[in-house]
Amino acid sequence: MLANQIGYYSLILGLLLSVLLCSVSIKNFYDSSKQINQKVLSLSFLQLIFVIVSFLSLILSFINSDFSNETVFNNSHTTKPLFYKISGTWGNHEGSLLLWLLVLTLFIFLFLIKSREQPKKYRILTLLFQQIIIIGFFLFVLLTSNPFNYLFPIPTEGLGLNPILQDPALAIHPPILYLGYVGTSIIFSSSLAAVTQNYVTKEWGYHVKKWVLVSWIFLTLGIMLGSIWAYYELGWGGFWFWDPVENVSLMPWLTLTALLHCIAVLERRAVLTSWVIILSITTFTLSMCGTFLVRSGILNSVHTFANDPARGIFILIFLFVLITLSLGIFFLFHKENNKNPNNFFWLSRETSILINNWFMMYFLSVVLIGTVYPIFLDVITSEKISVGPPFYQKLIVPFLIPFLLFMSLGPRLKWIKSKIENKNSLIITFIISVMLTFFILKNLTTDLLFYTVLVSAAFFLFFTTLKELFIKKFYNISQTVAHFGFSLLILSILFNSILSSEIITNIKIGEKYSYNKSEIFFKKTEERKESNFNAIIGHFEIKDQSGKIIELKPEIRFYNQPIIITSEADIKTTLLDDKFLAMNLVKGNEYFNIRYQVKSFMIWIWISVLLLSLGGLMSLFKKRYEK
Amino acid sequence: MYGKKVKLRILFLALILSSVILIVFLVLQSLKENVVYFQSPSEIKSLIELDKKKIRVGGMVKEKSILINSNEVNFIITDFKNEINVIYSGAVPNLFAEGKGVVAEGFLKDKNYFKATKILAKHDENYMPPEVKEAIGDK
């Protein structure tokens, strides 16, 4: 009860502080002082504290199962384990918005501390732009999605959290993803501030790159966590489904990755200024669009918590205001830097970066069209359609070939003007890649030519980056590690899709199912009781071609609150492949529907994404290349 | 020198323009090929010509219609006006049950038979895909 009050009033105080903060910093902007006023810092800190208090009190209500709070009532239950009571705080619409707000205020405070060497006016303007976003979200939370609504009479039991969300990976997925998503807000604010101050320079590039990296690392990890969760929890055995909700997180990732590379160019050559600004604005807009699409109930998924049209309209208007504001500022204030004309020599590192940037923009438009087109068609003609994975695969995969080649060659070029060095060793590497690919794939695939070219390109990147790692050791190691991770990612995804196999069948207890020398034996079932669910555990013995026997024990869980049946796949992971078995109940029949998959190199997909993020992390702690 | 620069720029613009046109064409083409339309059993009944393309059918799983053997699941999708028989061999989502909403993806064999290649999972007991809600309409 008390926690509720505290939480609610802290939010209001936080909003009031925003207004106060704006007026103080505007005054500070025009006065003659060289440094930012200490008061601004303290106020920003205080605002962060208020949001933290509000967030903590919501967590407290969840821990205490205080059902006088509507959010808790809707999303919690007394029998839920403590861990999921806490994670339930952000497993719903209201709480997750509070988390947005927390990250927004956290990032601006960190920005203020970390940017002491930057010009005063630039810092204040960044703060002001960020406060516009913060005020918007305060209003959004307070007006349309207050997490502290009272319920009277107080219910004795809550409705419970969707069991599919009761999972360790999904408990940390939202906070990590949000750090990435909302982290882009600070890039947005500081880009706008830099444009108004005509400060889009090498120094600015260096300084803002750290923020881009932070967002990028968290976004990468956040997407990976979601993907891991989908892999073992949804029982489909895949890691990416081109589901609109996944696409929505991939889009800002693409622009953020492009931005990261452009800023590296900006940092050294002070070119591409407009492009950097446009990418910053786009990235944040896409993050906001993602929130809009997911929260408004237009897209259907686990992420859609409530279909309240008022919320959708609010975000839409807010989004519209932000886009107009940012574009207005961009066109009014932005001046191309004439000192450094955009002369790009065709063979240079920045040209290759630029080319791959355009490829990424192409990937972005494919994903955007595939995601948005069904929505538009529904609104205009009320025809219901969906765009399937073949659309994305057909349009994206072929273009990965030049993309990978540029990625292999680009980093070996010099800035400004270059010629290809060590031509011979590159050619040898390329020939090795092609031969290796050919021998591996010879008997594996029907579309040999296409896959040979594609996999060769990936191997080429793999070998060139690997060589770089050994020869140059610490020169630009962050970039090499990240690119190596990317090549590994593409390779493992490709081999995963080429080599994986799947068996789906309906089977009774005691039955055996045989297929080309392998055998699935359904031994028995056993039951298990937990506080919030009962489970049927299936015991399976699987004999593979070589006669090796493994045991897998998938579960079917019957959650009591809310009443939902989920299936927990059992997965045996080795370095070579994952053996994945999920079982489903079909209508109290004696038949169980099972899905057995051998997923090759599954673990390498996760490892390579970790390597990607590691590359980002290394770059974050790298010293500047000159000075 | 100046002439060369202008020429280069024109070449560059032409290159960009042609690649944009090519890409737009490509995207539209594959969008046309890969779009899956949603239809209700009644809409299928009123079809004049059978479509060879992949479609989605949605509605309710009719009570007492699920039949299972070792490699197939058979059931009937109804929108309470018309119904269609579905043959499916593949993994069944957990929330697939009689009297619940369902969306099946696959190909029409004729107006009464649908060969499903995928049954879409739902995440939530109370949640009903909007397509299905609309298909069932005034129940």
- pLDDT tens for each residue of A465-481: 998 888 876 678 899 99
Is B117 at the interface with chain A, CB within 8 A? no
From A406, A437, A434, A422, select the one nearest A471 (Cα to Cα). Answer: A422
How many helices and strands in chain B, by DSSP H and E? 3, 7
> What pLDDT is stored for residue A403 in this prediction?
95
Q: Tell me the average pLDDT across A74-91.
A: 88
Q: What are phi and psi of A298, to 5 degrees?
A: -70, -40
* Residues above pLDDT 90, as percent of chain A: 47
Interface test with B, best of A506, A515, A557, A591 (most B CBs within 10 A): A506
Task: Give pLDDT, residue A341.
Answer: 56
Do B89 and A584 make contact, defined as CB atoms within 8 angstroms? no
Which whole number is the average pLDDT over A429-437? 91
User: Are residue B11 and residue B69 in the same domain, yes or no?
Assistant: no
Contacts of residue B139, Cβ cutoff 8 Å, sequence gap at least 6: B80
Q: Which residues of A touch B131 (CB under 8 A)?
A: 384
DSSP strand pairing (A501-507 vs A592-600): antiparallel
Tell if the CB–CB gap between B92 and A164 is shorter than 8 Å: no
Backbone angles phi, psi at B40, to 5 degrees: -95, 160
Q: How many domains does chain B have?
A: 2
Q: How far apart are CA A163 and CA A558, in angstroms?
A: 9
Q: Cα(A127)–Cα(A21) distance, rounded to whole angstroms?
A: 9
Residues B95 and B111 in one domain: yes
Token representation of residue A7: 């939480």
Kindly state whether residues B107 and B59 are assigned to the same domain: yes
Q: Do B123 and A505 touch (CB under 8 A)?
A: no
**pLDDT class of A627 with cuts at 50, 70, 90:** very low
Instruction: Dig out the tokens for B34 from the structure.
Output: 């890969």
Contacts of B95 in chain A (CB under 8 A): 564-565
* Nearest residue in chain B measured CA to CA from A391: B34
Taking the CA of residue B35 and the nearest CA in chain A, the distance in Å comes to: 5
User: Which of B1, B25, B72, B92 is the best residue to mutate to test the A interface, defined by the most A CB atoms within 10 Å of its own CB?
Assistant: B92
HEC sequence for A27-67: HHHHCCCCCCCHHHHHHHHHHHHHHHHHHHHHHHHHHCCCC
Please give the angle made by the CA atoms of A301, A306 and A308, to the nearest 5 degrees.
130
* C-alpha–C-alpha distance, residues B95 and A220, integer Å: 31
Q: Do both B1 and B56 map to the same domain?
A: no
**Range with lowest mean pLDDT among A36-40, A223-227, A445-449, A580-584:** A445-449
pLDDT digit string, tens, across residues A486-519: 999 999 999 998 888 888 888 888 888 888 778 8
Residues of B in contact with A562 (CB under 8 A): 125-126
Contacts of A418 (CB under 8 A, 6+ apart): A345, A347, A348, A349
Cα separations in angstroms, A238 against A84, A500, B36, B106: 25, 10, 20, 19
Task: With beta carbons less than 8 A apart as the criterion, state whether A229 and A221 touch.
Answer: no
**Is A164 in Cβ contact with B129 (below 8 Å)?**
no
Output the pLDDT for position B139: 40
Half-sphere exposure of A53 (CA within 13 A, CB side): 19
Q: What is the pLDDT of residues B15-30, one digit of tens each?
A: 889 988 988 888 888 8
Of residues A397 and B136, more confidently modeled: A397
Nearest to B134 by CA among B55, B37, B40: B40
A85-94, A356-365, B93-102: range with lowest mean pLDDT = B93-102
Residue A340 confidence (pLDDT) above 70? no
pLDDT of residue A360: 95
Closest-approach residue (CA) in chain A for B125? A564
CB contact under 8 A, B37 and A595: no
Q: Which ranges in chain B belong to alpha helices (H)?
A: 2-34, 41-45, 130-136
For residue A339, pLDDT over 70 is answered with no
CA distance B21 to chain A (A): 13
Specify the residue for token string 């068609």: A377
CB neighbours of residue A475 within 10 Å: 9
| B30–A contact, CB cutoff 8 A | yes
In sequence order, which residues have a C-beta less than 8 Å from that of residue B88 and are 6 or more positions away?
Answer: B72, B73, B74, B75, B104, B106, B115, B116, B117, B119
- Residue A441 confidence (pLDDT): 86
Token pair for A464: 């060139």
- Please report, rounded to a whole number, the percentage of residues in chain B having pLDDT higher than 90: 7
pLDDT in the model for residue A415: 81
Q: Which helix (H) or strand (E) holds A524?
A: strand A518-529
Looking at residue A52, its pLDDT comes to: 97
The two three-digit tokens of residue A25, written as one number: 């910093």
What CA–CA distance (Å, rounded) separates A285 from A279?
10
Tell me how far apart the terminal alpha carbons of chain B are, to the nearest angstrom: 76
CA distance A457 to A398: 11
Same domain, B46 and B4: no
Amino acid at A98: L
In total, chain A counts a number of residues equal to: 627
Q: Which residues form the domain of B124?
A: 37-136
- Residue in chain B lying closest to A582 (CA): B91
- The H-or-E segment that residue A433 falls in is helix A423-441
pLDDT digits (tens, 9 = 90+) for A567-619: 888 999 999 999 999 888 776 667 888 889 999 999 999 999 999 999 999 99
Per-residue pLDDT at A416: 76
CATH number assigned to the domain comprising residue B83: 2.40.50.140
Minimal CA separation from A591 to chain B, in Å: 7
Touching check for B71 and chain A: CB below 8 Å?
yes
For chain A, domain boundaries: 1-159, 167-416, 417-500+605-620, 504-603
Q: Decide if A485 contacts A615 (C-beta within 8 A).
A: yes
Tell me whether B25 touches chain A (CB under 8 Å). no
| Interchain CB contact of B88 with A (< 8 Å) | no
The number of C-beta contacts closer than 8 angstroms across A and B is: 110
Q: Under a CB-based contact definition with an 8 Å cutoff, are residues A191 and A281 in contact?
A: yes
- What is the distance in angstroms between the Cα of A475 and the nearest Cα belonging to chain B? 34
A271-282 confidence digits (pLDDT tens): 888 899 999 999
Cβ partners under 8 Å of residue A223, min gap 6: A177, A246, A249, A250, A253
Q: What element of type H or E holds A553?
A: none
What does the pLDDT average to over A239-246?
A: 86
How would you write A361-416 as a 3-class SS string?
Answer: HHHHHHHHHHHHHHHHHHHHHCCCEEECHHHHHHHHHHHHHHHHHHHHHHHHCCCC
Q: Kindly indicate the confidence band of residue B138, based on its pLDDT and cuts at 50, 70 and 90.
A: very low
For residue B132, what pLDDT is reported? 66
The answer to whether residues B27 and B43 belong to one domain is no
CB-based contact B56 A386, cutoff 8 Å? yes
Alpha-helix residue ranges (DSSP H) falling in A64-201: 70-75, 82-87, 93-114, 120-144, 168-196
For residue A127, the Cα-to-chain-centroid distance in whole angstroms is 25
End-to-end CA distance of chain A: 57
ipTM for the assembly:
0.78
Q: At what angle do helices A309-333 and A168-196 cross, to 10 degrees?
A: 30
Nearest CB to A584 within list B69, B91, B126 = B91
Mean pLDDT of A26-50: 91
Assess contact for B84 and B113: CB atoms under 8 A.
Answer: yes
Asked if B9 and B49 count as a contact pair (C-beta separation under 8 A), the reply is no
- Looking at the structure, do residues B23 and B73 belong to the same domain, yes or no? no
pLDDT at A337: 61
CA gap A86, B13 in Å, rounded: 56
Model pLDDT, residue A110? 95
